[in-house]
């Protein structure tokens, strides 16, 4: 008899449930009770791993730089950054219900809101025509690619308890993110993103260089910080119901864009790659009158982000600066993935 094909674990993600709330627990005892709302991504093993990396890197540091979390979902990572002492946290999500949940989660866990939440596509809106700048951008993007036509047809027949954008379209989202990133990082700024190996990571960076290069000629560089093996989850009942088509898409991805996973027993395991992304070679950006404080780098942000257990350098708030700010310097170098 033929063996059953590999599947994935069917159970929902991390944390116990308690009514409509659940506990998300990060390293060193950082934990939050979060609302489990339809339309909001339930914190998963990957989000916990990314949070753990941030705990190891930032705990005990003076975090005075401006931080953005894109795709905040429940807000868990943004809440964690606040809990770690970050003084300026902005967070966005394309899902209006996720943003509403994240706001509620901040209020429930801290009492007083300080995080600047935006319902927005990737980055927060420009102010006076100028893009907001950040010293550190954190993004746990959707981990699966745009659904195939077959998969879309199947998904169209289902009720959606979670928008497809929570886990699908990761390829186009990442390409747009990498293209726009240079407009949003301060000098020495960097992004920490968590990449799902099912998306075909090397292929995304190659396509970013060839089909979606930053418009100002700057160059994106990437560096692997940590790699974690995670059993596959289907996240929602509807997606579990189309698991055969999903698995077919992952298998096709293995051939077409080097999507990577291993099969253990009857479960697929994928790899979560926590990756640092920096930008080189962007020209000096002018500062508009009245925007000086937002245009300046808020301090020496995060240099030489280490992997493993090493730590980020602390943020150190810089003096007010009225002159144009060099946002990225140095010669363009080939993208490394
Ligand atoms: C994998 S979930 C991560 C959620 C949360 N950060 C976490 O770690 O639990 C991806 C999130 O990105 C959001 N998202 C997808 N596309 C986006 C876009 N273009 N702009 C902003 N957020 C987006 C989804 O709505 C979802 O909440």
Domain assignment present for residue 302? The answer is no
75 lines ligand 1 (CB under 6 A): no
105 lines ligand 1 (CB under 6 A): no
pLDDT > 90? residue 12: no
Q: Residues near 24 by Cβ (< 8 Å), separated by ≥ 6?
A: 14, 15, 31, 32, 34, 43, 47, 48, 51, 74, 76
Q: What pLDDT score does 161 carry?
A: 85
d(CA 316, CA 134): 14
Assign 282 a pLDDT band (cuts: 50, 70, 90). low
For ligand 1, atom 27, name the residue with the nearest CA: 73
Q: For residue 248, give Cα distances in angstroms to 50, 198, 212, 266.
A: 28, 12, 27, 15
281 lines ligand 1 (CB under 6 A): no
Which pairing describes strands 219-231 and 267-280: parallel, antiparallel, or unpaired? antiparallel
121 lines ligand 1 (CB under 6 A): yes
Number of structural domains the chain divides into: 1
Q: Tell how far the Cα of 31 is from the centroid of ligand 1, in angstroms.
A: 20
Assign 11 a pLDDT band (cuts: 50, 70, 90). very low
Poorest-confidence range of 33-47, 209-223, 322-336?
A: 322-336
Summarize pLDDT for 83-135 with one digit per residue, the tens: 999 999 999 999 999 999 999 999 999 999 999 999 999 999 998 999 999 99
Summarize pLDDT for 14-23 with one digit per residue, the tens: 444 555 999 9
Domain assignment present for residue 11? The answer is no
d(CA 267, CA 261): 10
Domain assignment present for residue 58? The answer is yes
173 lines ligand 1 (CB under 6 A): yes
More confident residue, 76 or 280: 76
Domain assignment present for residue 336? The answer is no
Q: What pLDDT score does 8 carry?
A: 55
Q: For residue 311, give Cα distances in angstroms to 83, 84, 123, 290.
A: 17, 14, 26, 35
Domain range holding 32? 19-295
Q: What pLDDT score does 296 carry?
A: 33
Write down the pTM of the prediction: 0.83
Assign 272 a pLDDT band (cuts: 50, 70, 90). very high
Residues in the chain: 337
Domain assignment present for residue 96? The answer is yes
Q: Mean of the per-residue pLDDT values for the chain?
A: 82
Domain assignment present for residue 312? The answer is no
For ligand 1, atom 11, name the residue with the nearest CA: 71
Domain assignment present for residue 333? The answer is no
Summarize pLDDT for 134-178 with one digit per residue, the tens: 999 999 999 999 999 989 999 988 888 899 999 999 999 999 999
The CATH number that applies at residue 235 is 3.40.50.150
């Amino acid at each position: 008899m033929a063996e059953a094909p590999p599947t994935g674990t069917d159970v929902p993600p991390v944390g116990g449930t308690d009514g409509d709330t659940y506990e998300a627990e990060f390293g060193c005892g950082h934990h939050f009770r979060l609302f489990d709302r339809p339309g909001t991504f339930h914190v998963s093993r990957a989000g916990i791993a990314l949070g753990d990396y941030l705990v190891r890197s930032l705990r005990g540091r003076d975090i005075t730089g401006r931080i953005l979390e894109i795709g905040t979902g429940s807000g868990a990572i943004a809440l964690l950054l606040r809990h770690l002492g970050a003084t300026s946290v902005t967070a966005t999500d394309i899902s209006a219900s996720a943003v509403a949940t994240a706001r509620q989660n901040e209020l429930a866990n801290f009492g007083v809101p300080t995080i600047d939440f935006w319902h927005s596509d990737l980055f927060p809106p420009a102010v006076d025509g100028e893009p907001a700048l950040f010293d550190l951008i954190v993004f746990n993007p959707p981990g699966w690619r745009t659904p195939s036509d077959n998969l879309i047809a199947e998904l169209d027949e289902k009720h959606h308890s979670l928008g497809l954008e929570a886990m699908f379209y990761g390829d186009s989202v990442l390409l747009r993110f990498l293209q726009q990133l240079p407009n949003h990082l301060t000098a020495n700024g960097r992004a920490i993103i968590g990449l799902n190996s099912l998306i075909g990571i090397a292929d995304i960076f190659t396509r970013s260089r060839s089909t979606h290069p930053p418009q100002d000629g700057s160059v994106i560089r990437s560096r692997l910080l940590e790699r974690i093996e995670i059993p596959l989850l289907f996240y929602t009942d509807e997606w579990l119901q189309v698991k055969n088509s999903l698995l077919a898409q992952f298998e096709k991805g293995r051939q077409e864009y080097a999507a990577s996973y291993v099969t253990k027993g009857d479960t697929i395991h994928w790899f979560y790659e926590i990756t640092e992304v920096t930008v080189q070679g962007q020209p000096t950006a002018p500062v508009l009158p009245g925007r000086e404080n937002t245009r300046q780098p808020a301090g020496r942000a995060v240099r030489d982000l280490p992997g493993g257990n090493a730590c980020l350098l602390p943020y150190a708030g810089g003096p007010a600066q009225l002159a144009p700010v060099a946002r990225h310097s140095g010669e363009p170098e080939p993208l490394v993935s």
